[in-house]
Structure 1
Amino acid sequence: MADPEHSSSGDSNVDSREEESSEDSKLKFSEDEENLIIRMYNLVGERWSLIAGRIPGRTAEEIEKYWNTRYSTSE
């Protein structure tokens, strides 16, 4: 007997791929947003919540992740 809950497990893979792609699109910032992030970072440093407060629809986590992937220096 097939369990209906387990037979739909393939759908969860589709959902996770959609979440990943929507997460990637959230990290695409406009040129204006990038310029604002850079200016704000120069003023307040790593105070991501303050920077996010100036960019509607963005969270502190998104901005921090964007900054770390774009401008972080690895030694």
Structure 2
Amino acid sequence: MADTAHSSDHASANSTEQSSKDSKVEFSEDEETLITRMYNLVGERWSLIAGRIPGRTAEEIQNYWTSRHSSGD
């Protein structure tokens, strides 16, 4: 039972590390262009957009988009 508790603590620590990394994710100019084009075609279908950009997750794409376009556009 102690192993289970240790595993969940480790998973929690990993998700915390990942969250802090997500806020600092850099996108190339090509990725930004592709995200914009895909968004114009399919809207907020983040997993579909992420499927076109190798190594990117839907959450990364959504966080990028909302950080760039949520301030009263």
Give me the TM-score of the superposition, normalised by structure 2: 0.67
Identity value in percent: 67
Size of the alignment, in residue pairs? 58
Name the structure 2 match of 1:36: 34
Name the structure 2 match of 1:66: 64
**Tell me, what secondary structure is at the counterpart of 2:33?**
helix
* Structure 1 unmatched runs, 5+: 1-14
Name the structure 2 match of 1:53: 51
Distance 2:22 2:35 in 1: 19
Deviations 1:26-61 (A, max 9, x none): x21000000000000000000000000000000000
Segments ≥4 residues shifted beyond 4 Å: none
Q: How does 1:18-33 map to 2 (within 5 A)?
A: 19=17, 20=20, 22-25=21-24, 27-33=25-31
Give me the TM-score of the superposition, normalised by structure 1: 0.65
Distance 1:43 1:35 in 2: 13
- What displacement does 1:73 show? 3.0
**Tell me, what secondary structure is at the counterpart of 1:43?**
helix
Task: Note the aligned Cα RMSD (angstroms).
Answer: 2.3
